Chains A and B, each alone.
Chain A
Amino acid sequence: MLNFTHLNAATVDEAASLLAKYNGQAKLIAGGTDLLGLLENRCLPEDKAPKYIINLKTVDGLEYIKVDGNFLKIGALAKLHDIAFDTNVLKYAPALAAAARKVASWQIRNMGTIAGNICQGTRCWYYRATDNRFDCSRKGGSTCFALTGNMREHSVFGGTKGCFAAHPSDTAPALVALGATIVTNKASYAADKFFDGFKDTVLAADEIVTEIQVPAVTDTKQAFCKAAVRGQIDFAMADVAVVLKVSGGNVSDAVIVTNCASTLPIRLTAAEDAIKGKSLTDANIEAAAAAGVAKAQTINETVTYKKAVVEGLIKRALAACK
């Protein structure tokens, strides 16, 4: 374990000021399910490893899940398990509830927070190699080792700045599909503008997620599907989240988002366009799924299977909306 100084923050403002004070040398911790592994295995180079850990668990009042006006509002520190079984989440955002329920194990869901889940770092096995074995481009090095190595866990939808590490969050594609807003101490971001394929999120060094807002509407059909080698305990091979509006038997609007097979959650607009205006027949679903992965790339032969997985999940998710 790297040595660091552990600081408890009483408020978001205090945490933000500590982040600003230790500019670039501090990291936030809440559930700790992501950060502790990174530290314990000394994955980061010494100059990029945090010297200060700022604890958010000591900040009160950020664990809520409530309906406020037209929005379902979820505090940044709400536990994944609570989200998975909250009646309002199940009513307004069943895709998010399903995604939260499919994160890892019961123990992880009881510790992990929604903000932590969307802000977590990549699981790329080159990036996460013990003792910073691979000085990869994501850490400031010159190359992505996966390109000449084993990309089984990586993106099939291209790289970001030459890095092909997949984004691991299960809840992120659901939030993008739901048109959620990510609120921080400084700004609000549409969920589809929040993620960054190279540095996980667009957050500034002293910026902290405080709330997730999801439109509280019930006129959509939603589905979230995850495929993993051993079921949900594993990080996903791929996720797909779908939010549809259906009128007169036809899909009037569609948002289809995939993650874990891409460097960040991405909308599969070709699939959306293919299903809009059409009914959810098997043939239409298959055509939409095929369109969704038409632009998937196979950079390295060890990753090709993920294209099929995403296609299969689009079909499964659309079929679930019938």
Chain B
Amino acid sequence: MYEEYNITEPYSGESYPQSIYHNLKTDELKIVGKKSLRRVDSDAKVTGKLKFGDDWCFPNQTYLKLKRSIYPHAKFTVDAASVAAAKKIPGVLDVILPEDVKGINVSNSYNAVIMQGEVFNQGDPVCAVVATEEAICDDAIEAIKINYTQLPFVLLADDAKEDKDKDGNPYAVHGDTNLAATYLQAGGKEERGDTAKGLAAADKKIEKHYATETKKNTAIRDHAGIEPWVATTVWDNGDIVVYPSTQAPYTYVSTIASALKLPRSRVRCIMGGLGTGFGRKLQCYRESILAAWYTNKTHLPCRAFVEAEGMFNAGGKQCCQHHDIKIGVKNDGTITALVDESYAGVGTTVTGVTNNSISIFDYIWKTDNIKLVSKDYWTNMPYNQALRCVQHPIPTTFMGMAMDEAAEAINMNPADFLVKNMRDESGVGAHPSYPKYDMGTNAMPDMLKELIARSGFKNKWKGWKTPMAVDGSKRRGIGIGVHACHHGALSNPESANIQVLVDGSFRLSIGSMDQGTGSRTALMAMAAEELGITFDKIKMSQLDTAHVSESRTPGGSTVTRGSGTAAILAARDAKRQLFALAIAAKLIDAKEPTELEMANNEIYVKKDPSKKVAVATVCGKMQGTHGFGPIVGYGHYATARTTLEHREWNCDVVEVEVDVDTGELKILKVWSDCDPGRAIFPEGAWSQFAGGQLLFLSLSSYEGMVKDLATGYSLNADYQNYKIATNCECPDWDLNLYECPDPYGPFGAKGICEPQSAAVSPAIANAIYNAIGVRLYTTPFTPENILEALGKA
């Protein structure tokens, strides 16, 4: 029943595995895509039996915590007398000072495991404490005094780009200028076509500035994941074994090995459960390196724990963004030019904010003339990190708002405007900026039309500045938005192995973590489907980097495609060996493994399925004195990924209610379509979709970290004041997994969650406009911002 696996070199000389059953209909499959599939670890989770990072505990365990800077920029020294006093507190084992770990950096010199005499961001570590209990760490941290000399700082990108500090005095965070990086897009050029001509040829032009940052609201965004960063390091006969909460176990291995100058073979990572990732746990954090350093020195187990406030202040953030958007349109809806010039404040250590933010515009909007340029500026803020996507959701929001305004300028129904302007190409050579690339499948044109019809948008939308309904001070509005990005694509390398056990069961080991997404279930389903066994015959072991070859960090919704392909390859390898064993043991009448196939826990002859033998019988030959060795199937998958540029698509219609007296926003109903390729584990895919929608709804409507502009201090570094959407903010969902199997995905699957959820944000913004007749130009869409737009604040 299966197609042959075929590695082709389709277009570029690179190898992309294609056609792994993507053409099969779901009813031809036995496990994959079945709605009866249930999450394999749900029982363990709800009964508290699944071990998360904070659950590991070892004899003689020690605890490590950092003391952090309260200033955004300062020189400092650690007061020696207070350190001596702290060391006398019963239970304190060590105080780690900057000079003790000089030269150990996370990435660059501005990111030392403990800062060397100068901090650049509130939350930067100034020393660390190791004690026998976590509470004793807190006492010691409080006892240690730091002598600070405060230095100038800059928080806002608008100040940083002028190379000024918060008071307007000349200042650069690093070196002579805050300009950290400049980016071009549209195929690596600043401009494709001629945007000046395009704007000149337009009947109407939109020219607006959008920002996540204002003087009132610094509004960088956190992830606020509930599971904190934690890692326990253990000395194991010369090896350092790390038990972290991370998306990136192999990054832990490489970072710790590099920092401590150990061979990688001496560092190993073991994981059980992981409670949220979403980009927050992509790195090996300072605390973990310090714990490993301490364990390596003392041979004692050491747990490093980061409390919520430390995560808020010192962890990576979705940084602020500013976008100057120009759109030219013809009266028939044709976009004659699209220009986005953006800039961002990126914190102290990591660039790439604007590079990622502008790239998506060329994916989605159909125009002959496009210009995308952007600049990153250093600020004394937390560093840039890919939380809930790199930086795509915010520009998707802003461009969606601008396109709605463009549609209004020519008085065209916004749904019709989107249908006309979606890029509709697929396959190779279709995109003018990427002529050598394969764009994969493109579900958007049909999916968008389906969404518009299903939601009844065109009947409900009554016209510009015309709410759907008015009830006292409450206005109901409807809006539409679209999103596309390249996440969920193939990743590399990904590894898997499958142990074949003597009782006819199978154990799958994968190099990527299930972050709570259900990927474990999806990967087991794909492996079982390929093996031709029932789902009860496969188990998945906890992640151990000693057991699986190097795998890529699971981020960007890549696990299903990358690890899924590796799992299928491992299953094929195991199956091939099993067939050879069955033939050698004379358990089936065949000469070559290619004559055989597996289904229903049996090996059968393809040409005569009545000739068959139970898998368990064949596996039984691996024990005792039969002379047949154990079987392990290996799967490893990698691509250079330079000419495969597939897109993932999402479109949303949202209904909101806004109280024009108080600015309160209620998101009532969300209709959304996304293309998962094929939903391997439908229940998990749906929950990923809904979860993604909620996260992006939250991002644009509620969230923003507020810094005190005078002191640089975070005012809302806690779960009460940092307002992330809760279940109470869930609207009535009408979510549709619009399956359009992809030729490169395992069973046609694409990744899901991150790439298919951001359209909710522009749809909310446009629904607010429909409701109240006034446009917003900043996020989040809080009552404060809405009232300000209404001229009431």
| A55 within 8 Å of B (CB atoms) | no
* Docked-complex contact A148 and B723, CB < 8 angstroms: no
Q: Mark B691-733, 1 if CB is under 8 A from A, else 0.
A: 0000000000010001011110101110011010110110000
User: What are 16 A-B interface contacts by the 8 Å CB criterion?
Assistant: A130-B309, A130-B717, A133-B713, A149-B708, A230-B728, A233-B728, A235-B720, A305-B788, A305-B792, A305-B793, A308-B661, A309-B662, A309-B783, A312-B662, A315-B473, A316-B473
Residues of chain B touching chain A, judged by Cβ–Cβ distance below 8 Å, are: 70, 135, 138, 142, 216, 309, 472-473, 659, 661-664, 702, 706, 708-711, 713, 715-717, 720-721, 723, 725-726, 728-729, 782-784, 787-788, 792-793
* Docked-complex contact A230 and B138, CB < 8 angstroms: no
The 9 closest A-B pairs by CB, nearest first: A312-B661, A305-B793, A312-B662, A308-B792, A125-B715, A305-B787, A305-B784, A304-B793, A227-B662
Q: Which residue of B lies closest to A314 (CB)?
A: B661
* Docked-complex contact A316 and B663, CB < 8 angstroms: no
* Docked-complex contact A152 and B216, CB < 8 angstroms: yes
Contacts of B309 in A (CB 8 A): 41, 130
Contacts of A249 in B (CB 8 A): none
Contact partner, A311, options B661, B721, B788, Cβ 8 Å: B661
Question: What's the Cα separation between A196 and B215 when bound, in Å?
Answer: 32
Q: Which residue of B lies closest to A124 (CB)?
A: B715
Question: What's the Cα separation between A311 and B661 when bound, in Å?
Answer: 7
| A17 within 8 Å of B (CB atoms) | no
| A245 within 8 Å of B (CB atoms) | no
Question: What's the Cα separation between A297 and B793 when bound, in Å?
Answer: 12
* Docked-complex contact A152 and B706, CB < 8 angstroms: yes
Question: What's the Cα separation between A145 and B721 when bound, in Å?
Answer: 17
- In A1-40, which residues have CB < 8 Å from any B CB? 1
Most A CB within 10 A of own CB, among B662, B702, B711: B662
A1-B135, A231-B728, A319-B472 as given contacts; A309 in contact with B709, CB under 8 Å:
no
* Docked-complex contact B135 and A227, CB < 8 angstroms: no
Contacts of A149 in B (CB 8 A): 708-711, 715
Question: What's the Cα separation between A194 and B324 when bound, in Å?
Answer: 53
Contact partner, A308, options B708, B713, B726, B787, Cβ 8 Å: B787
Contacts of A235 in B (CB 8 A): 720
Contacts of A307 in B (CB 8 A): 793
* Docked-complex contact A230 and B702, CB < 8 angstroms: yes
| A274 within 8 Å of B (CB atoms) | no
* Docked-complex contact B715 and A308, CB < 8 angstroms: no
Question: What's the Cα separation between A268 and B473 when bound, in Å?
Answer: 21
Number of residues of chain A lying within 8 A (CB) of chain B:
37
* Docked-complex contact A227 and B664, CB < 8 angstroms: yes
* Docked-complex contact A148 and B783, CB < 8 angstroms: no
* Docked-complex contact B793 and A129, CB < 8 angstroms: no
Q: Which residue of B lies closest to A225 (CB)?
A: B662
Contacts of A152 in B (CB 8 A): 216, 706, 784
Question: What's the Cα separation between A24 and B583 when bound, in Å?
Answer: 87
* Docked-complex contact B662 and A229, CB < 8 angstroms: no
Q: Mark A206-235, 1 if CB is under 8 A from B, else 0.
A: 000000000000000000000101110111
Question: What's the Cα separation between A16 and B748 when bound, in Å?
Answer: 71
Contacts of A315 in B (CB 8 A): 473, 661
Question: What's the Cα separation between A319 and B472 when bound, in Å?
Answer: 10
Question: What's the Cα separation between A34 and B736 when bound, in Å?
Answer: 43
Q: Which residue of B lies closest to A148 (CB)?
A: B710
Contacts of A60 in B (CB 8 A): none
| A76 within 8 Å of B (CB atoms) | no
Question: What's the Cα separation between A145 and B135 when bound, in Å?
Answer: 31
| A237 within 8 Å of B (CB atoms) | yes
Q: Mark A276-304, 1 if CB is under 8 A from B, else 0.
A: 00000000000000000000000001101
Q: Which residue of A lies closest to B70 (CB)?
A: A133
Most B CB within 10 A of own CB, among A42, A129, A131, A305: A305
Contact partner, B783, options A42, A133, A229, Cβ 8 Å: A229
* Docked-complex contact A313 and B662, CB < 8 angstroms: yes
* Docked-complex contact B716 and A125, CB < 8 angstroms: yes
A152-B784, A229-B783, A301-B216 as given contacts; A309 in contact with B726, CB under 8 Å:
no
Question: What's the Cα separation between A152 and B216 when bound, in Å?
Answer: 9
Least CB distance, B694 to chain A, in whole angstroms: 12
Contacts of A150 in B (CB 8 A): 216, 706, 708-709, 715
Question: What's the Cα separation between A152 and B716 when bound, in Å?
Answer: 12
Contact partner, B723, options A133, A227, A234, Cβ 8 Å: A234
* Docked-complex contact B216 and A230, CB < 8 angstroms: no
Contacts of A230 in B (CB 8 A): 702, 723, 725-726, 728-729
Contacts of B663 in A (CB 8 A): 305, 308-309
Question: What's the Cα separation between A97 and B729 when bound, in Å?
Answer: 23
| A126 within 8 Å of B (CB atoms) | yes
Question: What's the Cα separation between A233 and B787 when bound, in Å?
Answer: 21
Contact partner, A312, options B473, B723, B784, Cβ 8 Å: B473
Q: Which residue of A lies closest to B474 (CB)?
A: A316
* Docked-complex contact B723 and A229, CB < 8 angstroms: yes
Most A CB within 10 A of own CB, among B659, B784, B792: B784
Contacts of B70 in A (CB 8 A): 131, 133
Least CB distance, B470 to chain A, in whole angstroms: 13
Contacts of A134 in B (CB 8 A): 713
